[in-house]
Amino acid sequence: MIRFDILTLFPEMFDSPFSSSLIKKACEKQILDINILDIRSFAEDKHKMADDYPYGGGSGMVMKVEPVTKALESLQPSNGDPVILLTPQGETFNQKIARDLSSYSRLILICGHYEGVDERIREHLATREISVGDYILTGGEIPAMIIVDSIARLIPGVLGNAESAPGDSFSEDLLEYPQYTRPAEFRGWTVPDVLLSGHHREIERWRRRESLKRTLARRPDLLEKANLIEEDRKILKELGFDE
């Protein structure tokens, strides 16, 4: 089991995403444990203020350090539990980070919001900072959903087919090959003959070639770090890739 503790100002945002599909089933099977913590409930003033104006002036509001600290302390994290601040300033999330984080039994996610968070949250509470891309969102709630979903797929028992995750795009730093299902022909659009042949070795070769072809066309930067074998290099050379 892996436990996710998510600190947020807007706990209701998680109701629908985590109450359907594979995430819901994994929670019901006790493979995942997702705990949503409302930061506002730890604010001590009568208005439950979790944000305030920035020192030095400027636009927007800044999340306060006190309620975030108290929320985190209520969880009694151990020294080894990653405390992840979701922020545009963090390292860019990818499949490798997802695999690394999936090895932990507990992850704590702090959802930033407004103009940002008090710097002391970053300095004294977070052990890691993660961004989901070079763009700005209204807060860290959607990034938290992305991270939970991505990591959950790597936990044994979450996916119906245990072989699904290793074949996903980015699992080998390559994009996934094209997929087809019934019918074999629709409006003149046909499935490649090799997939209907029943020759599993030829199918695997076709899929590998298509994966390399698609990666070369769409994300050639991935090929620089992909784990390529000699056969892959021959295929890429045929496709016009010059290392």
Q: What angle do CA 7, 8, 13 make, to 5 degrees?
A: 125
Which pair of tokens denotes residue 231? 């056969």
What burial class does residue 28 get, using C-beta atoms within 10 Å of its C-beta: 0-12 exposed, 13-18 middle, 19+ buried?
exposed
Among candidate residues 54, 77, 82, 88, the one labeled active-site is 88
Tell me if residue 134 is catalytic: no
Tell me if residue 187 is catalytic: no
C-alpha neighbours within 13 Å on the C-beta side of residue 235 = 18
Among candidate residues 3, 99, 153, 205, the one labeled active-site is 153
Among candidate residues 33, 38, 66, 115, the one labeled active-site is 115
Block residue for tokens 């860019």:
92
Residue 96: CB atoms within 10 Å: 12
Tell me if residue 115 is catalytic: yes
Among candidate residues 38, 66, 129, 168, the one labeled active-site is 168
Q: Which residues of 54-85 are buried (b: 16+ CB within 10 A; e: fewer)?
A: eeeeeeebbbbbebbbebbeebebeeebbbbb
Give Cα 202 distance to the centre of its chain.
33
Tell me if residue 99 is catalytic: no
Report the catalytic residues. 88, 115, 153, 168
